[in-house]
């Protein structure tokens, strides 16, 4: 095995007080949580915000409780706006990233023959939604090729496709669920702005792991969940909608009494803000948990997080790559904190179960999650390990040690 300590000598992030951050994270005492790409561990203030609100609802009534906490509810929008470099009125709450994504898609008046230009590494549910649009509206789905050097999508080729197809929508996943690849979303965005193309970014795995700035990316729409690297609760997500899109009058297909005013018997008017993409009913405890998680992330600081988190994953990837029978799969010059690999001699479920038994949380990805990427890599399934900044170097080494032992036992 290589000496990983020398390669990652700079991994310790002086700005992060790891002991305090771990003390703030009850789950750190229970498990080695390397499934942050599934769902991060909530910090105490997030849990507390949610529990407090549920107690308040029980004590004074649900509508009364949300009215009493209107300031904290407003901070859901303010904190996310701060995180993403936009204004509160450009943020909509959603029940999941996919919910936000399909709401956004529903606002586009697709016609037969319209092109959706995407990549070979887009999230499974987005791809299924495009296929559903093809079935219903006859859109054409065009996949930009990957760069031969393995760095992700070939931006020049994608830009050429933008010019030749004039797509109705350009849709790119920043970091896919199936590998640590980081796509050059800002470079793609510059082409979209130059050609005035509608640009939708799925930032589900990057928000909370990297600084994500919607102006820098140049996107019109951006979706994410709060439960992954942002460490918020399950059942949450959001949609960023640019002023351009709002001012163009885009609205979701189904808009309700929260998103629109019924101003005359035969007429409704969408509200001016991204709230037109929301619905009336909200899980307020969840919304407050998201606000607490976003404030927490802002306090910890996305710059130090984005240095430490992928570096921890790099330390793990390097140790795994050195093991006989293990093949790491993450492409790109600077992969994110999603470490994916295959292991000889194991089936998917027993392998994950063997890690579960060691209290190591992980996730499986199957061919159907990534039809293009896994076909290119000739992979039927892989295991995904996704540390976060609150994990330790010792945990990384313990996980690598566990995989080494399992790899040996299969040979």
Ligand X SMILES: Cc1ncc(COP(=O)(O)O)c(C=O)c1O
Position 328 contacts ligand X (CB under 6 A): no
Q: Which C-beta is closer to ligand X: that of 205 or that of 306?
A: 205
Position 176 contacts ligand X (CB under 6 A): yes
Selection from 359, 402, 357, 351 nearest residue 31 by Cα: 359
Among residues 25, 205, 319, 391, which is the contact residue for ligand X, using CB under 6 A? 205
Position 127 contacts ligand X (CB under 6 A): no
CA angle 349/352/358 to nearest 5° reads 140
Angstrom distances, CA of residue 256 to CA of 251, 271, 272, 277, 339: 11, 10, 14, 9, 41
Q: Which C-beta is closer to ligand X: that of 310 or that of 318?
A: 310
CA distance 91 to 166: 27
Among residues 225, 309, 328, 365, which is the contact residue for ligand X, using CB under 6 A? 225
Please work out the total of residues on this chain that contact ligand X, with binding judged by CB under 6 A.
13
Applying CB under 6 A, the span of 112-120, 198-206, 271-279, 284-292 interacting with ligand X comes to 198-206
Among residues 34, 76, 93, 123, which is the contact residue for ligand X, using CB under 6 A? 123
CA angle 298/235/218 to nearest 5° reads 50
Q: Per-residue string for binding with ligand X, 81-120, x by CB under 6 A?
A: ---------------xxx----------------------
Applying CB under 6 A, the span of 112-120, 202-210, 214-222, 293-301 interacting with ligand X comes to 202-210
| Tally of CB atoms within 10 A around 147 | 17
Token output for 21: 């951050």
Least distance to ligand X, CB of residue 30, Å: 22
Side by side, which strands form the sheet with 169-173? 91-94, 237-241, 221-225, 199-202, 169-173, 115-118, 140-143
Least distance to ligand X, CB of residue 235, Å: 9
Residue with tokens 């199957």, as numbered in its chain: 366
b/e burial code for range 260-284 (CB count within 10 A of at least 16 → b):
beeeeeeeeebbebbbbbbbeebbb
86: three-class secondary structure by DSSP = coil
Q: Which C-beta is closer to ligand X: that of 159 or that of 182?
A: 182
Least distance to ligand X, CB of residue 135, Å: 21
Least distance to ligand X, CB of residue 174, Å: 7
Q: Which C-beta is closer to ligand X: that of 62 or that of 235?
A: 235
Q: Which residues bind ligand X (CB under 6 A)?
A: 96-98, 123, 125, 173, 176-177, 202, 204-205, 225, 237
């Amino acid at each position: 095995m290589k000496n990983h300590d020398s390669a990652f000598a700079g991994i310790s992030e002086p700005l992060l007080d790891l002991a305090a951050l771990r003390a703030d994270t009850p789950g750190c005492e229970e498990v080695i949580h390397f499934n942050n790409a599934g769902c991060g561990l909530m910090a105490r203030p997030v849990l507390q915000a949610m529990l407090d609100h549920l107690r308040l609802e029980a004590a004074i009534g649900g509508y009364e409780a949300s009215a009493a906490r209107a300031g904290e509810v407003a901070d859901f929008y303010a904190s996310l706006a701060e995180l993403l470099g936009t204004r509160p009125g450009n943020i909509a709450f959603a029940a999941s990233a996919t919910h936000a994504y399909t709401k956004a898609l529903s606002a586009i008046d697709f016609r037969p023959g319209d092109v959706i230009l995407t990549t070979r590494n887009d999230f499974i549910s987005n791809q299924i939604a495009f296929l559903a649009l093809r079935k219903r509206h006859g859109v054409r789905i065009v996949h930009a090729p990957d760069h031969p050097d393995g760095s992700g999508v070939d931006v020049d080729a994608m830009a050429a496709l933008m010019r030749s197809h004039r797509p109705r929508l350009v849709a790119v996943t920043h970091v896919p669920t199936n590998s640590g690849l980081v796509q050059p979303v800002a470079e793609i965005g510059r082409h979209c702005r130059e050609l005035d193309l509608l640009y939708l970014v799925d930032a589900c795995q990057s928000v909370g792991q990297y600084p994500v700035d919607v102006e820098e990316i140049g996107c019109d729409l951006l979706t994410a969940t709060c439960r992954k690297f942002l460490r918020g609760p399950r059942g949450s997500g959001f949609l960023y909608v640019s002023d351009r899109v709002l001012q163009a009058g885009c609205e979701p297909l189904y808009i309700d009494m929260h998103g629109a005013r019924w101003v005359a018997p035969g007429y409704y008017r969408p509200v001016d803000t991204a709230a037109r993409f929301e619905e009336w009913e909200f899980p307020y405890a969840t919304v407050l948990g998201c606000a607490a998680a976003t404030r927490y992330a802002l306090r910890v600081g996305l710059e130090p997080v984005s240095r430490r988190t992928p570096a921890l994953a790099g330390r793990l990837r390097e140790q795994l790559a050195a093991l006989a029978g293990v093949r790491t799969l993450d492409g790109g010059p600077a992969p994110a904190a999603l470490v994916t690999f295959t292991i000889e001699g194991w089936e998917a479920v027993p392998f994950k179960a063997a890690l579960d038994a060691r209290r190591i949380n992980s996730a499986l990805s199957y061919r159907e999650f990534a039809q293009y990427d896994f076909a290119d890599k000739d992979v039927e399934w892989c295991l995904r390990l996704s540390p976060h900044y609150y994990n330790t170097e010792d945990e990384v080494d313990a996980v690598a040690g566990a995989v080494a032992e399992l790899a040996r036992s299969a040979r």
